[in-house]
Structure 1
């Protein structure tokens, strides 16, 4: 959110992961890994923004002010208690300035971490089409200079339908994987069920949210019966 650019935010997140791979084996995993990664990414973002501003504007006064500004500003508490990091990012990414399919594809790539071929399979389109949608979405967000902040009230409610689409498609990828050696990806299924539960709690009067949760819980309950001990798929009439 601090970066204000989706592409830059992806690079900063990758830098934070590299830092973790370098430091955690030597010093141990911190008590709160998510907070550690967020702090590192934020500091990298501040450093990057300082370099960009010094390069583009060349104002010594501005550079001095940025050097002396505190790096760790306190987080502003969310008024609606949306404190799950993944769900917050999904709500932010599903910005209404983007067409519905583009915002869902972008969120599946940037937040859920799915590959382009997996997203293309979800939409039943080519990888090239998905790649173009994601590129155009990033450019549109940058050109519109939309604020990377978590909306509240009606503005948030208007985005939840797209967030539900993302959660549903993430579960589908976990339920029947696009590729790889495993027929099912349990971690994706578990995360989709968790997010669907949060959405149902966030929108207790939404029949769509509760319907989504019920649907994926029903399918998820059959997960262990769909593969044998070796991970091979079991036909429906042979499932226990």
Structure 2
């Protein structure tokens, strides 16, 4: 029997309504205790807030995903007001970070305005004593590490992380957490990261509805995929499966203060 799991990063609001209902209905039979649904923007945060208030197994994070055009100042202010007013209904500030892929597609995009927004949210998270969920990969990751250090943010979760060994060492030293996606079953880069990153600073996620390849090709991204991720993590780490289940579960519960 599978042990209990927590999906540490999913965009539940981005699923079609019928798919969302299916995931919620199938949580118990797949030993999915909690899904932490992160927000793309203000409308996304409003939907996630509603789900979190109506479904005890859903926990919400509010933020502005960086892989999109800059928001208006009014939207940022509204998000901050939402976070301040509904602190008890949120577990983190996220998803926030820097627009790596957006800048790859549009090199003329300047990163400085996104850094300014990120700092705004880091300060907001610090003010309400919430952890942050980060989209920060490759050369953006050292920039974000510096910002976390600047604002003395200790509880940082880098989801689906990819980066150089120097940055990985820095993140480990600073106590930052990462979460592993189902592509750990077939992506060597992710397998290598699992090999070097401490299990004590690791969680698991789907980032659904983002689709995966390999055994998951053409399948709806579902938190139950995490069971296969954990099996692979245990194999890479050379640890007992039940011990890895327990550690990842406790890590997530503790990090998000649930």
TM over 0.5: no
Q: Which has a greater percent of strand?
A: 2
* Greater Rg by CA: 1
Which structure has more relative contact order (CA 8 Å, sep 6+)? It is 2
Q: Which has a greater percent of helix?
A: 1
Q: TM-score, normalised by structure 1?
A: 0.28
